[in-house]
């Protein structure tokens, strides 16, 4: 790619940062800093019930403590409703965006949940409702985008080639919920597009969201960033480490250990260093390359966690 690399941290401030988030941010940061690019920070706080300013501030402090700096903070998603409304209008003019009054319960009755993320595939019936049927509803609808019968492929920098037919794998998807809240898929594309993000580094649990996001980028006329979906950290049983494992959140880790040990442990576990050695994020830059990164889930066993 020519031009300046622009990456981002896009935390959801619904709780404390976790070791798994720290791992994805470390790689996002190394990828940008090793090529002299720019890092943006954006609070993904669309979920106004769970996200707080206080959590956002803790995440900023935790990033600083880890030695992961950023060049610019772009507006939080909560403040971007007007931009998302504009994006929705553009989508309406270029594709089929239709009102939908289905509830999760009614969809589950119609269809088996989609294997990858547990979401039922939306039936076409609602898309084909007549104006009279629509007029009968007294409550506001959600707005969905018709999923095209189109195979979307992209070359992920870690995972390799990933392909999905949007109609078969995901079906018509929601852009704005009935309560007026815009969904993550639309917000992330509008934000990354508007702020010129050229590469997206995030956990591979978001791999299956990417074809939807690429389709939205195409409709909105934004260039496609490069994608790197990084492996999950797991325990010995193969369970993904998550917010459940409270002993691995940054609040606990900061009391117990140093940032250099965390960076050294993650760098060793993912293949960037061949032995464990405490070091700063900046000292890791010369050791970074995407080729070295392990491609499969990364097991953190008791012995490794004891290094902290």
Check: CB of residue 100 under 8 Å from CB of residue 198.
no
Residues 220, 241: Cα–Cα separation, whole Å = 35
Q: Which is nearer to ligand GLU, 102 or 293 (CB)?
A: 293
Check binding of 210 to ligand GLU (CB under 6 A): no
* Residue 11 found at the interface with ligand GLU (CB under 6 A): yes
CA separation for the pair 12, 56 (Å, rounded) = 8
Angle at 183 between CA 7 and CA 112, to 5 degrees: 115
Establish if 31 lies at the interface with ligand GLU (CB under 6 A).
Answer: no
Q: CA 134 to CA 132: how far, in whole Å?
A: 5
Question: In this complex, which beta carbon is closest to ligand GLU, that of residue 172 or of residue 199?
Answer: 199
- Closest separation in Å from C-beta 41 to ligand GLU: 12
Nearer to ligand GLU, 14 or 108 (CB): 14
Counting every residue, how long is the chain?
A: 308
Provide, rounded to whole angstroms, the least separation between the CB of residue 89 and ligand GLU: 23
Residue among 119 and 202 whose Cβ is closer to ligand GLU? 202
Q: Is 190 in the site for ligand GLU (CB under 6 A)?
A: no
Please tell me whether residue 44 binds ligand GLU under the rule CB under 6 A. yes
Closer to ligand GLU by CB, 32 or 107: give it. Answer: 32
For position 60 contacting ligand GLU by CB under 6 A, the verdict is no
Strands 173-176 and 142-145: antiparallel
Tell whether residue 63 is a contact of ligand GLU (CB under 6 A): no
CA 100 to each of CA 134, 136, 201, 209: distance values in angstroms, whole numbers, following the listed order: 9, 12, 33, 21
Tell me which residue of 176, 119, 169 sits closest to 149, measured CA to CA. 169
Among 6, 10, 27, 241, binds ligand GLU (CB under 6 A): 10
Of the residues 58, 80, 202, 229, which one makes contact with ligand GLU according to CB under 6 A: 202
Q: DSSP characters for 18-60?
A: BHHHHHHHHHHHHHHHTTT-EEEE------TTT--HHHHHHHH
Binders of ligand GLU in range 141-170 (CB under 6 A): none
Pick the closer one to ligand GLU by CB: 220 or 279.
220
Q: 63 and 25 in contact (C-beta within 8 Å)?
A: yes
Work out whether 188 is an interface residue with ligand GLU (CB under 6 A): yes
Q: Is 12 in the site for ligand GLU (CB under 6 A)?
A: yes
Site membership for ligand GLU, residue 6 (CB under 6 A):
no
Please give the residue ranges that form the binding site for ligand GLU (CB under 6 A): 10-12, 44, 188, 202, 206
């Amino acid at each position: 790619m020519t031009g300046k690399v622009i990456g981002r941290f896009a935390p959801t401030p619904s709780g404390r940062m976790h070791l798994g988030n720290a791992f994805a941010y470390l790689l996002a940061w190394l990828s940008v800093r090793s090529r002299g690019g720019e890092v943006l920070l954006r609070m993904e706080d669309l979920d106004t019930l769970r996200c707080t300013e206080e959590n956002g501030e803790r995440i900023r402090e935790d990033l600083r403590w880890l030695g992961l700096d950023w060049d610019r903070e772009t507006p939080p998603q909560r403040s971007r409703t007007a931009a998302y409304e504009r994006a929705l209008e553009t989508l309406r003019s270029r594709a089929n965006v239709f009102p939908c009054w289905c509830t999760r319960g009614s969809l589950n009755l119609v269809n088996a949940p989609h294997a990858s993320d547990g979401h039922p595939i939306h039936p076409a019936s609602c898309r084909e409702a007549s104006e009279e049927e629509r007029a009968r509803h007294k409550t506001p609808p959600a707005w969905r985008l018709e999923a095209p019968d189109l195979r979307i492929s992209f070359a992920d920098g870690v995972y390799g080639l990933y392909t999905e037919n949007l109609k078969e794998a995901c079906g018509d998807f929601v852009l704005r919920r009935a309560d007026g809240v815009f969904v993550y898929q639309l917000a992330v594309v509008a934000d990354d597009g508007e702020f010129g993000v050229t590469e997206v580094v995030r956990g591979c649990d978001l791999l299956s969201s990417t074809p939807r996001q690429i389709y939205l980028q195409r409709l909105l006329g934004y260039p496609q960033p490069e994608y790197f979906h990084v492996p999950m950290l797991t325990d010995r049983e193969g369970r993904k480490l998550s917010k459940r494992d409270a002993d691995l959140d940054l609040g606990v880790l900061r009391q117990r250990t140093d940032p250099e040990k965390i960076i050294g442990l993650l760098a060793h576990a993912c293949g960037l260093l061949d032995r464990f050695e405490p070091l700063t994020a900046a000292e890791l830059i010369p050791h970074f390359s995407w080729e070295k990164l392990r491609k499969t889930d990364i097991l953190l066993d008791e012995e490794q966690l004891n290094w902290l």
